[in-house]
Amino acid sequence: MHCRPALVRSLAPLLALTLGVVSVGSADASEFNQVLDVGDKAPAFEKLPTADGKTLSLADLKDKKAVVIVFTCNHCPVAKAYEGRMKAFAEEYGKKGVALVALSVSQEPEDELSQMTARAKEQGFNFAYARDESQAVGKAYGATVTPQTFVLGPDRKVRYMGAWDDSWREAKTAEEHYVRDAVDAVLAGAEPAISEKRQVGCGIVYE
């Protein structure tokens, strides 16, 4: 199922769901996540294959001051719109001891590992791009759209989750930088002023 970016900002949830564009609101575990809440321990993942031919486990990042996990994919235009921002973040915050991990659970043909490898090379990704064929990690995090972001503190508890910023179309139009602000707070030993925002993007289809 493909995302149609012109309709991402639709305010009609039923229409959005029909089109595979999801903006989820649930009060089961948190305001916008049916599985996790801010303050929960982040689910671990182990030996996921990555686009560079290696494997990645959350435990491999144990020395990082913070970890940012972005559920993304190749085919979603909203996810693509954030690739430049993700590269800029990885370049800047990698020097501060922060790891950025892109993680795909998509079952679309263009999101197979070989296609991820090609995309990572083409776009010059400077962060790990991992694949979870089982989709178990996406389910454990309650991920519903691409891109959807989780900021983990040094204790690997969720400190922020939701949208990367408030403007998916162009980085220069964003006024609220949720992920950067949350990571800055974590690095300063503080709690993020905003810990959750509604995720907007292409719906993740679970098998």
| Domains in the chain, CATH or no CATH each | 5-203 (3.40.30.10)
Where is pLDDT greater, at 87 or 15? 87
Structure confidence at residue 3 (pLDDT): 55
6-58 per-position pLDDT tens digit: 333 332 232 233 233 333 333 346 889 999 999 999 999 999 999 999 999 99
Answer whether residue 176 shows pLDDT above 80.
yes
What is the spatial distance between Cα 81 and Cα 65, in angstroms, rounded to a whole number?
Answer: 27
The mean pLDDT of 150-158, rounded to a whole number, is 98
Q: By CB neighbour count within 10 A (0-12 exposed, 13-18 middle, 19+ buried), where does 206 fall? A: exposed
Question: What does DSSP assign to residue 165?
Answer: S
Give the per-residue pLDDT at 18: 26
Contact 78, 3 (CB under 8 A): yes
Dist CA 156 CA 176 (whole Å) = 24
Report the pLDDT value the prediction gives residue 23, as an integer from 0 to 100: 35
pTM exceeding 0.85: yes
Cis check: omega of the bond before 147, within 30 degrees of 0: yes
Provide the mean pLDDT of the chain.
88
pLDDT value of residue 114: 97
Q: How far apart are the C-alpha atoms of 9 and 23, rounded to whole Å?
A: 9
Q: How confident is the model at residue 173 (pLDDT cuts 50, 70, 90)?
A: confident
Residue 38 in contact with residue 123, Cβ under 8 Å? no
pLDDT at residue 170, rounded to an integer = 78
Q: What pLDDT digit, counting tens, does each position of 95-140 carry?
A: 999 999 999 999 999 999 999 999 999 999 999 999 999 999 999 9
